[in-house]
Structure formats: C-alpha cells, structure tokens
Amino acid sequence: MRCRQQLVLLTLAAVVAAVAAQVPSLGPCPEMKTMDEFNVNKYLGRWFQAERYFSLFEFAAKCVISNYTDSGDGRYLVVNKHVNALSGLKSVIQGDLHVMGRQDESKMTISFTSVPVPMDLPYWVLGTDYDNYAVVWSCSNFGLFSTRNAWILTRAPNASLEVMQNAYSVVDRNGISRAYFIRTDQRNCGESSRH
C-alpha cells in the first residue's frame, strides 16, 4: 500500500510539473552557467516575451509582458500580463521573485501567489545586457525525469534581429534546444496591454 501511495504522489508531482513546464526530459536537469555579477536592480522593469517553451499556463497567450519591481522589503514583485489569442480575455498573474544566494547571483526562484496552487519555481537568468534582452531558464527534477522551460525576453515588443542573435548566442552557449521555442505574438496588442 505504501508503494502505491508513493506512486500516486510521484504521479501527482509529475502532473503539477507538467503544468509548470511542458518540456519533459529523461534524466536530471542539466548544469547551467548563470551570470556572474548579476545586478537585479538593472534587471527590474518591463520585459516583453519574445519566445518561450510551450507551457500550459501560457497556452494561446499573446502580448505577454512582465514587470519586475522592488517592493522595498527585500522582495521583488512580478506582474505578468497577457491576452488569450483565442478568447481575447486578458489575464494578470502576480508573484514574488526571490534571490536564492548573494545579491549578485542570477539564480532566483519565482512564486506566483495569484494561482490556485502556488509553488516556487527556479528562475535563472543565463544572460542579459539589461537594456535589450534576457534569457531565462527553469528546470525541476522529478525522479527519473525533469521538466524544462526557457524564455527570451526583450525590452522592445518586437526586437531587432541583432538583439535576438545576441539572445540566441546565450541559448546556444548553454546547449538549450531552439527547437522548442515558440515565438510570442506581440502584434496588435493595443496601449492598454502595454502598461
């Protein structure tokens, strides 16, 4: 009976992980090189999602914007906004970003407090120039497999080819597959979704 309960818990954990990140892989999370001397204050502000790995919570999402602010009490607040391309409904998800170690490390966790099942997820900035692009990685281990997610964020809604090439160089340097990336539609978003 105990073995059955453990199997049920493992299955439940896998389902929860599948909702958070939709690229399951056999084996543990790969080692990733995060940034040295990361400056979280320069990272704050508005970012547009240029590309992402598929995830259920962003199904059919367009006009995706994230805004990071300093709450003043050691926490960083995150507000993600998007429009569902199928229904036209707007969604807002709020959360907290926590630095895991020293203030100059880019290994953080993010927890979305406005979702039914809040959980802490890895949020690692693999590379950014702060003014144009950022590459973010998340991976969680679940026994014999892991779930992986990646995002390319840009300061402009439609980044130039040069900016995207700089982001892709971070992706390639870390051995992240480009095959899973989906371009985020940032067209016809209107001014209301930009704030």
What's the total number of domains in the chain? 1
pTM of the model: 0.85
Token couple for 51: 């590309």
Strand 133-142 versus strand 145-154 pairing type: antiparallel
How far apart, in whole angstroms, are the C-alpha atoms of residue 153 and residue 158? 10
How far apart, in whole angstroms, are the C-alpha atoms of residue 32 and residue 176? 9
Q: What is the pLDDT of residues 116-127, one digit of tens each?
A: 777 789 999 999
Give 13's DSSP letter.
Answer: H
How far apart, in whole angstroms, are the C-alpha atoms of residue 124 and residue 140? 12
Indicate if the pLDDT at residue 14 is higher than 60: no
* pLDDT band, residue 35 (cuts 50/70/90): very high
How far apart, in whole angstroms, are the C-alpha atoms of residue 195 and residue 46? 9
Give the mean model confidence (pLDDT) for residues 29-56. Answer: 94
Q: Terminal CA-to-CA distance of the chain, rounded, Å?
A: 53
How far apart, in whole angstroms, are the C-alpha atoms of residue 120 and residue 99? 12
Residues in contact with 13: Cβ distance below 8 Å, sequence separation at least 6, in sequence order: 142
Give the mean model confidence (pLDDT) for residues 27-43. Answer: 93
- pLDDT of 24: 86
- pLDDT of 195: 44
Indicate if the pLDDT at residue 115 is higher than 80: no
Number of Cβ within 10 Å of residue 57's Cβ equals: 15
What range does the domain containing 52 cover?
A: 2-194
Q: What is the pLDDT of residues 155-182, one digit of tens each?
A: 999 999 999 999 999 999 999 999 999 9
- Within 13 Å and on the Cβ side, how many CA atoms surround 135? 23
Q: What is the pLDDT of residues 52-68, one digit of tens each?
A: 999 877 888 999 999 99
* pLDDT band, residue 78 (cuts 50/70/90): very high
Token couple for 18: 């599948």
CATH number of the CATH domain containing 129: 2.40.128.20
